[in-house]
Structure 1
Amino acid sequence: MKKLSIILILLQLSIFSQDRTTIYNTGSPPIIDEGHGISINQSMATRFTLSNDYVLEAIVFYMSLQSQEGNLIVSIREDNNGAPGELVSELSQWNHSLDPFNLSGYNLILTTDLCIYLNPSSPYWLRIDAADANTQALWSYSSGTLYTYSQNNNQEGWINNIGQTGASGVFAEQIYENPYQKGDVNFDFLVNITDIIAIISHIIENNLLDDEQLDYADLNSDGYINVTDIVQLINNIIQVQDENPNFTLTDINPASELYNLDIGPSYFNGQVSCYYFGKQG
């Protein structure tokens, strides 16, 4: 039975590990049946932070069921003055039933069919509550001892601690934004006469650009928008281009399973009927 549990864990890991980034992971617990109590009177949350924009892909946590059956409410919460706050979105809460025959304690929630965006502006909390009065479980202790977590007993409010949190992991896909070229003040991925007109309109105070547009209008990065930028933009537009540019079909997305491979139409011949750029939403 133990070998079967290990095989199932490896299979589940292989399913959601591709094209995903680990944004929070305590690793597996040293002991499954020792941990923080989860019941109708005991809730717990563990805090994690981000360094980039992400779309949530999966949640992993280790739980030891102490009652005959157990039902949990798992959620991702915003930070509220250092404590778990509101849901990130109406989609960021899940009902999860514990399997009494799951000796590994490993639980997986996939969120790839949802568009739950996480940004680095503030911390987040992975929170677990019991869904009913019959549920008694232990959120297995992490091996590390320097995690920030919060507990709520008898609805008396959240109390933060630093130590062994509940063993868990949060996985997501980083959002990559294609940067615009200098001079593309209308953000249409083209630098042309339309952008020249927009910048001139700003200079003569006919139609002012916003702060983000101003950054792209300042072609020489001198902090001013003036005729020098117009001249530079015109030169960029009319300069002679290589008549035979070299194109590449190489996948340059480091988060893709096809990274560094040639993925032109011949690669997918007979496999797809169209190309769609982007995964989420």
Structure 2
Amino acid sequence: MIKLIKIILSIFLFKLLTANCQEGYIDIENQCYFESDLEVINIFLQNSTEINYILDLNNNNVIEPLEFCSQIWSENGRLISLDCNPIIIDGVYNWLEISGEITGLIDTWDAIEVLKLPYNNLNGFVPNNICNLNLEFNNPAIFSLEGNDLCPPYPECVEDYMGMQSNFGTGFCELGNCYNVGVSQMTLIELNGDNLVNPYNDNSGVAHLLVNVHNDGPDCSTYPGLLITANIEGTNLPVIPSESSINWWYAIPANYTYFSDIIIDISPYIPLDTELIVTAELVTMNCLDESCSEDPYCHDCPETEPASISVNIGENYPSRLGDINFDNQINIIDIIIIVSFIVNDINNYYDESNSIELYLSDYNLDNEINILDIIELVNIILNN
């Protein structure tokens, strides 16, 4: 209460010192400052109950608005830069501990050019009107809110640039950061075989499950894993999901894709015409563990739907190398797609949103998409 009274008194004193400034401005030590800019700073100060008093530069036990972080003001009295990174002294990081919610008045900082509040304790939601600020949100030298406890969903303009938030396990957020991570595409192919789903007389073919996992939300820091299951016995895939059957655990940055190439063993003793359904889904670390509810860092599995693919034993695989557009034909359209990849110098199919198409383009499996793949497809087309 005493702290709040001191802040209110400081605001009152500011308002008394307006003689030399235009309306809407406050005179502080013969400098004019835009009153609305200072009001927003005061809201941050009022919300920050455990702020680090290293900011109290004049040692009067009150952090005044102009002491709040590193500031730059324009000649016409507008706040143009606010940098609240930790203060490093002799190699020691002094975290500023700025907390509370970001005020909805943030868009009154319409002259600001740099806004950085990383590694603090801000929580709640980011107001949508932050998008009204004329900032390069994708430039970390200009904008940063990473390392706080801010909750998704985030405004569209900043969603991909929120970085890792520390809200997991806190109970502050109803929605986890991994709410929009899921399987975006999957297919089955066979390499070195007859393109039939494991008839008993094919000893050389190897089935590959190709899966794209895409994060269409903010940075997902709770290490989701790819769980693959089958509906029947007779494969190397589990029928009943468990923690041990999850293929990998990775944090996934915003707007990022992970590609997986998983070999599937299919028993030759599964009867012909049996339907095999392979399901892929993302699960969060520990969420399948029975003791999950007792772990504060354990989260529900992502809410995105699983993806499934169905094949019948003895029938053709749904995809094959060279059939890039999944139309069950290798033709000039596939060649045109490969040419576009080559022209745009796209080769790495492990982190692209169209990773499966890139994989199918590498017909000779030399980890490069080039003229040699086109020659292979031309020969196939001419021989058909």
> With structure 1 as the length reference, what TM-score do the two structures score?
0.27
Larger fraction in helix: 2
Which structure: greater strand fraction?
A: 1
Q: Which has the larger radius of gyration?
A: 2
**TM-score for the superposition, normalised by structure 2:** 0.21
